[in-house]
Amino acid sequence: MIEVRNLSHYYGEEKVLENINLTLEDGSFTILTGESGSGKTTLLSIMSSLLQQDKGEIYYSDVATSSVDQFRNQYIGFIFQFHYLIAHLTIMENIKMVTKKSKEEILVVLEYLGIDNLANRYPSMLSGGQRQRASIARAIINEPKYLFADEPTGNLDSKNSKIIFDILRNIDATVLVVTHDKSLIEKEDRVLEMKDGKLC
Ligand SMILES: Nc1ncnc2c1ncn2[C@@H]1O[C@H](COP(=O)(O)OP(=O)(O)OP(=O)(O)O)[C@@H](O)[C@H]1O
Ligand SMILES: [Mg+2]
């Protein structure tokens, strides 16, 4: 479970997050939406401990973030809008960089995502949707308990976007995903909306 309590954040004088409170249950899937500049990336960055908050606490299964530097690499996965795969490494090599798992174990994950046949290609030799699946593979290879995705389908067509969302819905982790695209939201999804730094 992740609990965010009384979280506020400033960039200089500008208050970008104001007293955020939220709880994500273990294994849940949650969509975070809201207009540009409302604070979604800032919230995700703080929740994934890429950025230190100014006020408030975040608890991961009752452990406060201030004590989780080690914990971050082990338990948190992050997917960015632009995939950040390393261009001169193959998909397999990109994933090998972040894990002690064997090639066989990596292939199992690639197969789950439908890209095992592309393991030896370089990122530039994949389509946008395939590359995004490769970055999901890299984010989940160490079986994170918590997975954060910031606009993971920002540059994909609607068919590939839906495939990525269905993958994220079915991953065995606590998932928080940011999107602008309301057409990706399904009836049973939990949706949080941000407005001017507040959850509404
Ligand atoms: N490093 C920074 N320094 C100063 N201000 C920042 C910084 N990063 C973001 N901001 C400001 O904080 C506010 C929230 O930005 P944030 O990136 O969290 O919004 P967002 O909801 O993710 O927007 P988008 O949908 O466009 O990605 C914006 O007003 C932005 O200009
Ligand atoms: Mg953003």
Query: Considering only CA atoms, which of 181, 143, 171 is closest in space to residue 35?
Result: 181
Distance of alpha carbon 29 from alpha carbon 32, whole angstroms: 10
DSSP state of 30: E
Look at ligand 1, atom 24, and give the residue with the nearest C-alpha: 36
Does the beta carbon of 33 lie inside 6 Å of ligand 1?
A: no
pTM for this prediction:
0.90
Does the beta carbon of 179 lie inside 6 Å of ligand 1?
A: no
Classify strands 190-195 and 198-199 as parallel, antiparallel or unpaired. antiparallel
Query: Which pLDDT does position 62 carry in this prediction?
Result: 65
Q: Give residue-wise pLDDT tens across range 43-91.
A: 999 998 889 999 999 988 866 665 556 666 678 898 987 778 999 999 9
Domain covering 2-199, topology: Rossmann fold (3.40.50)
Query: Considering only CA atoms, which of 124, 109, 11, 7 is closest in space to residue 58?
Result: 7
Domain boundaries of the chain, sorted by first residue: 2-199
Per the model's pLDDT, the better-predicted residue between 155 and 199 turns out to be 199
Q: Give residue-wise pLDDT tens across range 175-200.
A: 999 998 999 999 999 999 999 999 99
Task: Tell how far the Cα of 163 is from the centroid of ligand 1, in angstroms.
Answer: 28
Number of helices (H) and strands (E) in the chain: give both, helices first: 6, 10
Look at ligand 1, atom 25, and give the residue with the nearest C-alpha: 36
Strand order in the sheet with 2-11: 14-24, 2-11, 55-60, 63-64
